[in-house]
Amino acid sequence: MPQPSVTERILVIDDDPIVRSTVVEMLARSGFSPIEASAYEDALRLLDDPEVRLVVSDIVMPGGSGFEVTEAVRQRRPSVPVLLITGAGTDKNLSEALARGAAGLIPKPFTMAELTTAVAAVLDRQAKSEADVRNRFVPGVLADVLASVLEARDGSVHGHCDRLTELATKLGERMGLGRRDLDTLSLGALLHDIGKIGIPDSILLKPGPLDPQEWGLMRSHTEIGDRLLAPFPELEDVRKVVRHHHEQWTGEGYPDGLAGTDIPLAARIVAVADAIEAMSVRRPYRDPLTPSVIVAELENGRGKQWDPMVVDCALELIFMGSLLLERGGPQVVPIDLDRVWSDEEIARFAEMRIADLVRMVVSLGEQLEEGSLTGVEQKDGVVLPRRRREALRVLTALKAALRAVSG
């Protein structure tokens, strides 16, 4: 049975002083914090106490029955459950209690163990329900608000967080992450630079390069973001993304100098997505990079700045046409396995470096030779989804691009 807490205040309602005092004593001896009311109107006044977590009420009372209490609680404090006590534990009472929204029914007579077990079970269910709401709703809303605040402050990054989140999520899906890990990845991507709220405008909005002292302050945004999210236990895993998305595969990143798989996987994915997004858009000090230059940068940083597995996944999306390196930000589009590759698409592939195309052909060819139909096991227990049909089509397109390059 869950351990009660003195913060779990329980409102006990019963017109019979003996029964009421007995219930109050049982709950108090079990570690709860009961308060009492003898009538419906008194109970409504006590219900305004924000610390009340549960109502335990008799059904038959003058001035307002337990069923009416239940309806009043639902209207005034919908998150507070009601446990009803009845001297006649009939199916009719049980059905009506549940229909009115009661959390349960306790028939008289009952022992202290029966009462406290029922109360603890209701409170436990309520706590889990509240935690589920927090975990599903609060993080997303919080992330949207904080990201909007940051983008409102720095107009040059408008849309950056949304594009980055979409790309990071696509990479995570491609790498076989589960739903919970994808949710963490999405929130981490949305909030990755939230610590820049603590960076002075003179540095954050500076049009030119930063000097060493300014750069040191800018780098501190990862630790600032980590501290900003510390009060939210439901964002514990997201904090790791915020803190570590500037770590490097070789251990030369910041703030903690983590290397390789010691860097959380979601942070490694966000690092690659962030780089692609940054290279694809205009900055105060440069124009967007061309697709061929972006591919070259990814290849050069593979196994140095970034996780090679994540880079390979990004390059696959680029070569398959699912990740478009448009000026103004990358765009993620669905892969159509049945489409015919146009001359224009093949020409775009031909702009890529021959070395990249050769590597992709070899990689996909090896997968086909292995007969991989569903996946190839990778480090960290992550599975890269590979479909034979898709690989064949990509392989054909890449070979066509090679022919175009070689003339």
Q: What is the pLDDT of residue 376?
A: 41
pLDDT, tens digit, 9 for 90 and up, residues 232-261: 777 889 999 999 999 999 999 999 999 999
| Residue 143 counted as domain residue | no
Which pLDDT belongs to residue 91? 55
Cβ atoms of 160 and 330 within 8 Å: the answer is no
pLDDT of 383 over the 60 cut: no
CA distance 238 to 299: 28
Instruction: Output the pLDDT for position 88.
Output: 62
130 shares its domain with 194: no
pTM here is 0.54
CATH of residue 241: 1.10.3210.10
Torsion angle of C-alpha atoms 61, 63, 65, 66, degrees rounded to 10? -80
Q: Are residues 257 and 176 in the same domain?
A: yes
322 exposure class (CB count in 10 Å sphere: 0-12, 13-18, 19+): middle
Amino acid at 399: K
148 falls within a domain: no
Distance CA 224, CA 228 (A): 6
21 domain residue, yes or no: yes
DSSP 8-state assignment for residue 54: E
Question: pLDDT tens digits for 53-79?
Answer: 899 988 888 777 888 888 888 888 887
d(CA 185, CA 196): 19
For 381, the domain range is 336-407
Q: Would you say residue 5 has pLDDT above 50? A: no
Q: What is the pLDDT of residues 266-299, one digit of tens each?
A: 999 999 999 998 888 776 667 788 888 888 899 8
Give the separation between CA 332 and CA 329, rounded to whole angstroms.
Answer: 10
In this structure, the answer to whether residues 295 and 199 fall within a common structural domain is yes
Q: Do 292 and 356 fall within a single domain?
A: no
